Amino acid sequence: MATLNQTISDAQGHASLVRRNKNQDILIAGLGMLILVIAISTLLAMFLDLFITGLPRLQDPDFYMSFPSRKAEQAGILSAWVGTILVMIVTAAISIPLGVAAGVYLEEYAGSNWMTDLIEINVTNLAGVPSIVYGLLALGLFIYAFGMSETVLVAGLVLSLLILPVIIVSTREAIRSIPEAYKEAAIGLGADQWQTTYAYILPAARPGIITGAIVGLSRAIGETAPIITIGALTYIAFLPNAPISGDFPFINFDWITSPFTVMPIQMFSWVSRPQAEFQINAAAAGVVLMVLTLMMNAIAIYIRYKVRHKD
């Protein structure tokens, strides 16, 4: 009898335990959902607000194909979006190879000594330095010390500096997440460090590295402060020379040394105007900038998807 009672009370104990755990699950799931809804609806509300405000200009094809103008209804973002894309190309071309190389070095080659520790601490700290400080650095170093002018190249350089820590850290994390088994398999076959890294570790780490690079570039695309600091112009009524032309040698790099403006600067200059019409332009430019960023993220997701399903 005693055992039976014991069993029953145990069963009741279990039932209440299970109930409590289930309630906890529901609570956590509900909380997560709530946070998600708040985050997404904030983003959507912002985007919609911009979209509705900017709609009149967004519908106008001339908006995308015109230079800035003193008249709000004629002003466009041609030089801004071209500038943004060119600056992003330079930034990507500099920061991705450098950042990945630095990450690979720190993770695979560097021994663990005080030098590496120092570099590591610095890299992590650099990720938290305000962007305007990078702007001041670029102003002092590239513009004054090296005598460069406010060109696409300098903008690309400063944005590269800005996002290098992001790319380095994410490269290291991507490499670290690769199972030691791949490395041992390659080393066990007689591969040297570089063969192992290049042929086996980097391909396996590619999705993580690409994600890091895109996160970095997404940050760079919206940066205004460092670019204003180096003295980028807000009124550009011409385009840099096209990189590809019909004449020999077909490709030129004049655009790298060309003055430029970018989307955030264009927005900033419009927002600071008193006229209400320019606010519409700014909103429309904001929508375009967000679409550009989302497109970059979409490309990253697509690449990751491809990579994941190819192997």
Using rule CB under 8 A, residue 191 touches another protein = yes
Task: Pick the piece of the chain touching another protein (CB under 8 A) from 160-168, 177-185, 267-275, 277-285.
Answer: 177-185
Backbone φ and ψ of 251, nearest 5°: -115, 135
Q: Extract the tokens encoding 151.
A: 């060109």
Closest C-alpha to 223, from 267, 185, 179: 267
Using rule CB under 8 A, residue 45 touches another protein = no
Q: Extract the tokens encoding 94.
A: 């500099």
CB atoms near residue 193 (< 10 Å): 13
Residue type, position 99, single letter: G
Task: Pick the piece of the chain touching another protein (CB under 8 A) from 61-69, 137-145, 160-168, 196-204.
Answer: 196-204
Using rule CB under 8 A, residue 185 touches another protein = yes
Contacts of 264 (CB under 8 A, 6+ apart): 222, 223, 224, 227, 289
Q: Which is nearer to another protein, 37 or 189 (CB)?
A: 189
Using rule CB under 8 A, residue 113 touches another protein = no
Determine contact, residues 254/17, Cβ cutoff 8 Å.
no
Using rule CB under 8 A, residue 195 touches another protein = yes
Closest C-alpha to 87, from 301, 291, 230, 279: 230
Determine contact, residues 218/297, Cβ cutoff 8 Å.
yes
Backbone φ and ψ of 244, nearest 5°: -120, 130
Residue type, position 261, single letter: T
> Of 128, 188, 246, 274, which one interacts with another protein (CB under 8 A)?
188
Task: Pick the piece of the chain touching another protein (CB under 8 A) from 87-95, 114-122, 189-197, 233-241.
Answer: 189-197
- Min CB(168)–another protein separation in Å: 23
Size of the residue set binding another protein (CB under 8 A): 20
Number of residues written out for the chain: 311
Q: Residue 5 and residue 172: Cα distance in Å, rounded?
A: 59
Q: Which is nearer to another protein, 199 or 301 (CB)?
A: 199
**Contacts (CB under 8 A) with another protein, residues 197-236:** 199-200, 203-204
> Of 40, 44, 189, 295, which one interacts with another protein (CB under 8 A)?
189
Task: Pick the piece of the chain touching another protein (CB under 8 A) from 59-67, 133-141, 146-154, 192-200.
Answer: 192-200
- Min CB(120)–another protein separation in Å: 17
Binding site for another protein (CB under 8 A): 111, 179, 181-192, 195, 199-200, 203-204, 311
